[in-house]
Structure 1
Amino acid sequence: MCTVFQNSNIKEPDDLIAHLRAAHHPRLYGTAGCETWSVRFSPGGSYFAWSMGYGIVKILPWPVTHKDANDANSEEKTLDCKQTVWALAFGPCPSNRVDAFHQNRHKHELLLATGLNNGAIQVWAVSTGNLLFTLTGHQALVRDLVFAPNGSLTLVSASRDKTLRIWDLAKKGANLHVLKGPDYWIFKCSISPDSSVIASVCNMDSKIYLWSLRSYTFMRHLTFDHERTMVSCDFSQDGALLAVASYHSTTGWWLDLWDPYTAVVLTRVEDCEMCAYRSDNLLTSVSFSPVGLLLAFKDYRALHIWDVERDELVTETDLNRTGGVCCSFHPHGGVIATGCRDGHVKFWRVPRLVPSLRHLCRVTLRYSISTYQVEALPLPKKILEFLTYRDVPKQKSLHCKEHCS
């Protein structure tokens, strides 16, 4: 069902590791059904899941090799979901902050949840590729799925029916909680590293919604000052930053870093000034690396990776206009996968940057305490600015390779 291209005669960028392409080619470019809407690595990094179009999901052992793609006896699994697959999520997701003993007391097998076009969520066993059960309730397609990063089987789903639903998969969806409020399709959601807050964004709503995962209630809005289409959101590994991607068809895209505690925009990255008025260059995905302070964002022009700590663009690759729609980091860093509208998946090498000791101290501290608690500490102003990410430049404009002077 898939082909891996490695070390072929085709000239590829030096940072391209592997290239997966579905055996069933698109009938016509732009025809719906063939898109790779979601790519995901398992929490331990040993598996990769690929929504390869036409209702088919592949689970491949990582690292992907040419043998894995063609050997019938390999660990590769093919899931026939019989509906367009918009979202994928591996679970449970263990937390690096929780004692291993407490996480393993109720150890669960590795699962893969798939969000379908008909509103259903299918839950599969990764080890066998068998369908375990199906969750129903959403009235429109499931656009995003994410497991709580605390080792539990709590699954959050976002749908075009304008709701978020919280499922307990340990009880096959029992104790369901429905979060209502938005007036538009919910595109993406993200859970804070301490599993206390859910952030969600809607397509035509100029607000970010923050929800409590502990009380299942609405907390607050993070509001923009003008109309835009919201695309994606993701928390940093300490939960002190929330990256939000958005665009407007006539003025380009924006990538904003918010403080979710104080509702303050800390910095804004804008599209290249020369490309900003191209209606075909839309921001489609954003993702924080689980290692260091790298932030990846994908538009129709390229994949960009920004080192927020050093304030520099360390990668600009995948320079094509085939319509990249998603990206996902490997949990150990070093690799990022991108999926496209033509059904392809590419794996790119990520620069291995060693986080500074002071950043690691900041992450450890900020995981446990809020911005307000930090500001109350009797510390020098510069240290407080560092701990609250106020030392990040307020605004920057991205300059693409095509127009960089």
Structure 2
Amino acid sequence: MCSSERNIAGRLQEGTSSADPSDLILELRTRRPPALDGRAGCETWSVDFSPDGSWFAWSMGHGIVWVVAWPLDAEESQEDESDREDKSFSCDQAVWGLAFGPRPHKTSTCQNQKYVPSKPTTLLLASLEDGVIKLWNVLTGQPLFDLKGHEGIVRDLVFPPNGKLTLVSSSRDKTLRIWDLTKKGKCVQVLSGHKDWVSSCCISPDCSMIASVGRFDRMVCLWSLRSYTFIRNLTGGAHKTFYLLTSCDFSPDGALLATAAYSGSTWWIDLWDPYTAEKLATLVDYCNLYGQNQISAIQFSPDGLHLAIVTEDRALRIWEPGQKGWLMQTEEDQSSNGLCCNFHPQGGVVATGTRDGNVRFWRTPRVVPSLRHLCRSVLRHSVSTHQIEPLPIPRRILEYLTYRTFPDRLETCCSSSSSSSSADEWES
């Protein structure tokens, strides 16, 4: 596959949605021999937009990462045309995680073993089957260096929102690692405490906390990004029924932490207050088909109003936290299971990766945030729950600022009344 090819097969494939034919904006299809279709290794395990929204990358299966300029149909920008060409990176093994790095500012400092770009660039990282994390310069297409240390598949890569070249990675080797990219990937700290695979991790918007979920140990751990110490475990085996944790994400203001889990024919999303460890709400969905109910990924929209949910029976669902039912959901598609999702930094579009190696771009519901939501978002970004609770303000305002206006438990409109016995069993 040639990295200079501009015409990726099926690049602009118009599609349909169960709610509105215009929900699916376009689809990127991979070009591979028919003999490889449907075989293991085709999966798109990760997709990501660059922080400025000008690039999109996805792992298209069989060890290939594609990077395309965004938007796909835009005219060439003021940058060098060669810099805006589609690029592919061959990794020779399965790619499990992708992340664009922050865009460093131009600087003349370059000493000893420090990695400091001589001019603004765009970094892309990919985690591989053997635990190695590879780093490239997207504009030049050149590899920079590798990060080595993990002893298992690295499932998630995240950078803090403050623009620092500090990487957090979570792995099936039961650990998280903190890397300093300015020192050519020196491992600053290893966070140990999970008893099994670490499925996902995320960083709070104020860069004070890391959250991680263990797939089989049922642990939701909070870590200090400032002191690299363990803070607390949010679940602690609260449910007796065996279940698996798959994904987590902080809301843009940092006041909510969403975690996703599934068991049998049920999946649910818990909303937590990361400061008090209080569970604020639970969304439960009962599925008709056993084994087709796993949540693959969740992510808050940039404005914090919506939560994107990718499950193995549908490409995408959009939920407004605290509300019953879906703002949007795509048609059931067992042959093209959803595996990952990512919002564009400016919102309005969410990308989903599928098991067949393709990527779909969906138009998300457009809602004008209320003034009170904007005020809450600004306030909660810098003020913790512990700092808000002592304030001499009316109780109703206090409950709104701390997200305690949510119902304790919500069932989706798709959940049937006949599932009540299953719910009782799940809670027992």
The alignment's TM-score, normalised by the length of structure 2, stands at 0.85
1:233 aligns with 2:248: yes
CA 1:306–1:11 in structure 2 vs 1: closer, same or farther (change >3 Å)?
Answer: closer
Q: Which stretches of structure 1, 4 residues or longer, exceed 4 Å deviation after superposition? A: 71-74, 309-312
1: CA distance, partners of 2:57 / 2:325: 30
Match of 2:328 among 295, 303, 315: 315
1:378 aligns with 2:388: no
CA contact (8 A) 2:84 2:139 kept: no
- How far is the alpha carbon of 1:393 from its aligned partner? 1.9
Query: Which residue number in structure 1 is paired with residue 421 of structure 2?
Result: none
Residue 3 of structure 1 aligns with an amino acid whose one-letter code is A
Residue 177 of structure 1 aligns with an amino acid whose one-letter code is Q
2: CA distance, partners of 1:316 / 1:11: 12
Query: Which residue number in structure 2 is paired with residue 102 of structure 1?
Result: none
CA 1:401–1:395 in structure 2 vs 1: closer, same or farther (change >3 Å)?
Answer: closer
Residue 257 of structure 1 aligns with an amino acid whose one-letter code is L
| 59-68 vs 131-140, greater mean Cα deviation | 59-68
Match of 2:318 among 305, 322, 325: 305
- How far is the alpha carbon of 1:389 from its aligned partner? 0.3
1:48 aligns with 2:60: no
Percentage identity across paired residues of the two chains: 53
1: CA distance, partners of 2:83 / 2:220: 46
Query: Which residue number in structure 1 is paired with residue 22 of structure 2?
Result: 14
CA contact (8 A) 1:4 1:65 kept: no
CA contact (8 A) 1:292 1:354 kept: no
- How far is the alpha carbon of 1:154 from its aligned partner? 0.3
SS of the aligned residue for 1:342 comes to: coil
SS of the aligned residue for 2:9 comes to: strand
SS of the aligned residue for 1:313 comes to: coil
- How far is the alpha carbon of 1:402 from its aligned partner? 11
Residue 138 of structure 2 aligns with an amino acid whose one-letter code is V
Query: Which residue number in structure 2 is paired with residue 3 of structure 1?
Result: 9
Point out the structure with the larger strand share: 1
CA 1:401–1:329 in structure 2 vs 1: closer, same or farther (change >3 Å)?
Answer: farther
CA 1:108–1:219 in structure 2 vs 1: closer, same or farther (change >3 Å)?
Answer: farther
SS of the aligned residue for 1:22 comes to: coil
CA RMSD of aligned residues (A): 2.6
Query: Which residue number in structure 1 is paired with residue 346 of structure 2?
Result: 332
CA 1:316–1:11 in structure 2 vs 1: closer, same or farther (change >3 Å)?
Answer: closer
1: CA distance, partners of 2:132 / 2:82: 30
Matches within 5 A, 1:173-212: 173-174=185-186, 176-212=188-224
- How far is the alpha carbon of 1:31 from its aligned partner? 2.5
2: CA distance, partners of 1:41 / 1:351: 19
CA 1:134–1:150 in structure 2 vs 1: closer, same or farther (change >3 Å)?
Answer: same
Match of 1:282 among 289, 294, 299: 294
| 85-94 vs 197-206, greater mean Cα deviation | 85-94
- How far is the alpha carbon of 1:276 from its aligned partner? 5.6
Residue 166 of structure 1 aligns with an amino acid whose one-letter code is I
CA contact (8 A) 1:201 1:208 kept: yes
2: CA distance, partners of 1:72 / 1:3: 21
Matches within 5 A, 1:205-220: 205-220=217-232
SS of the aligned residue for 2:29 comes to: strand
Gaps of 5+ in 1: 95-105
Matches within 5 A, 1:112-151: 112-151=124-163
Gaps of 5+ in 2: 2-7, 105-117, 418-428
CA 1:373–1:3 in structure 2 vs 1: closer, same or farther (change >3 Å)?
Answer: same
1:90 aligns with 2:100: yes
Query: Which residue number in structure 2 is paired with residue 98 of structure 1?
Result: none
SS of the aligned residue for 1:364 comes to: helix
1:76 aligns with 2:89: no
1: CA distance, partners of 2:187 / 2:155: 22
Residue 133 of structure 1 aligns with an amino acid whose one-letter code is F
